Structure 1
Amino acid sequence: MSEAFRPPVGARFRVISDNDYAGDPDGLYQLAHHALSTSVDLRVVIGSHLAVDDPFDASGCSAGNGAAAARRVLELVERADVGVIAGSELPLEEPTEPRRSAAAEAIVAEAMRTDTDLPLYVVLGAGLTELASAYLIEPAIADRLTAVWIGGPEHASLGAAAPPNAMPVEYNLNIDLIAGQVVFDSPIPLWQVPRNAYRECVASMSDLILRVKPRGAIGAHLFQTLVDIHETVASHGLNMGETYVLGDSPLVLLTALQTGFEADPASSAYDLVPRPRIGENGAYESNPDGHPVRVYSGLDVRLMLEDLYAKLELATG
């Protein structure tokens, strides 16, 4: 059986993964993919909360449930060595007051380490509560990490239009609007994958039947989460067709799958623009003096999905 490729000198980046693992199961695919990526040192995984009254959160304990779901995925890919922490169950109430949690403190602790030179990425597939709280606790982290966020609406200034019947406030931003405002007003280096870009990450359910479902217990588990979602939404009268958007997987593409020389996610396109402010309605407000933000589009979905399929096959034989 072939073994996964391992860089001869080990990991090149550290990663903290923060996602709503009890919500949309695309985060579980992202977590399994990151855990199988040998070029990153996965330091800690944070189960973060969903929006208040989100239909995915029937128990009112989405961060705790998300942490449990993350532990299950890590167990199935034999990465029980990675620590999992539940974040706050609630969004920020004020833009100057953090939601103190073990998860926010873990971000601060990892960012402020002085015993390693490996760059740190905090990758976020849901709300920004824990990152915003960590910054409010210790603003110095802004010089010591790069945030990669799946979320936010389209940038009309870049020619992107919202999809038909789009939510009034983009889903991940709606989880914690105030935290989004804090991060966008901060100097934290930010790479953003807004809604028009993460919607590019369309996977065929037929392809997933052939290339994920047979890959051992982890493949069966990941595939079943999508079957469950299709059946759940069908019970509410929605036909999702024969695809699924693995919208959190760019978090792997933009970190683990960077180029060898002059490390960068070179196969995906971005615009570097002044960071807008986020208004109370969730829309962008012009801010010509804002810190720069990389706004990604034209993602290399082929590389992203093929790498996921290959790593699952190598891990399970």
Structure 2
Amino acid sequence: MSEAFDRIGCRTLVGLLILTALAVRTGATEEAADKGLSKEISRVQGEAVRVLPEDRRSAVVTRLERAAAAVDARRLYLALYELESAFEVTHAQAFAKKSATVKTPADCPVLWRSAGEPRIRGGAANRMIVRALASSAESRAGPTYRASLPYAQDAGVAAGLYYLGESQAFVAFADFARSLAWPPAGQAPPLRSLAPELEALDAEVTRAYEQMTEEEHPTYVVTSVTLKRARTLNDSGKHAGALLEYLLARYRFAMLRPDAVAEAPRPQRLDVERARLDDGIDHSIARMFVEMAEAALASDDARTRRSATAIVEDVLPAYHAALREVRPQASVGDANAPRVVTVTLVRWPFT
């Protein structure tokens, strides 16, 4: 009996050691992502001060402050999302400043050919939110590069240089996002084409535009641009990116609906939504919105707090609906299967 107990105890000890090692490894990897984000936020903050004009700096600084606050609150997916636009604006402006020797439209083609269209390196992303953000950014690189030269000729060299730099910034951000180390995330969720959802939301947004006030038009424009990104990604089979952009469009449009929410949700409601996200599935896209709602509820601004309701009542249900798998077709021997009748049409010759 003692020998059997020793064997059981030994196996138990080994199991505990393995679990401890996995926990330590996971914590270390999470810490690596945390440190990587913090380091990059600090780098972009310093670069923003050096390269951005003062009139463009405040919005970027605010975004970086939100990213840093998200890291401090352990909302790392939200931190990565908040970092993106600041990263890209600063990167683009740094390129434009470095290329300031280009003064006239006639000088532009040489630089454009030398820079070349940004090369999409791609690579593995061990988080769905990373895959979504990276594919969305990369999808904008080529079109922005191709538009930047005519833009320099129409809107001025400085504008063209900025957009040329922005085309490179999209790829640079995607590379950075993929470089972050995360612990294992679980199985990828079942993704599919969102064509019906995108068409329906686009129609709803278009109808609502006729009733919008002038103050709401900028939000409408941003929503429409986000929907266009979602369609582009969906058409190219980048379903993670399409899902993220679709949900962002819903989030931005939710506050414009006639029946927009009037109050913030109770924290318990967010707890329920958080509990729906199975740890065995990589729900990092949904978790980013949960983190966004958490940050909103911590805000002193009433409208910001209400935006958490849009996430709970609109965005997260849309996420779960988008992941519903198509029901399997009934087998041939299934008595409940619908009967299929095949009709063959034959056309008589010379009639």
Q: Which TM-score applies when normalising by structure 2?
A: 0.30
TM-score of the two chains, using structure 1 as the length reference: 0.32
Bigger RCO of structures 1 and 2 (CA < 8 A, at least 6 apart): 1
Q: Which has the larger share of helix?
A: 2
Q: Which structure is higher in strand share? A: 1
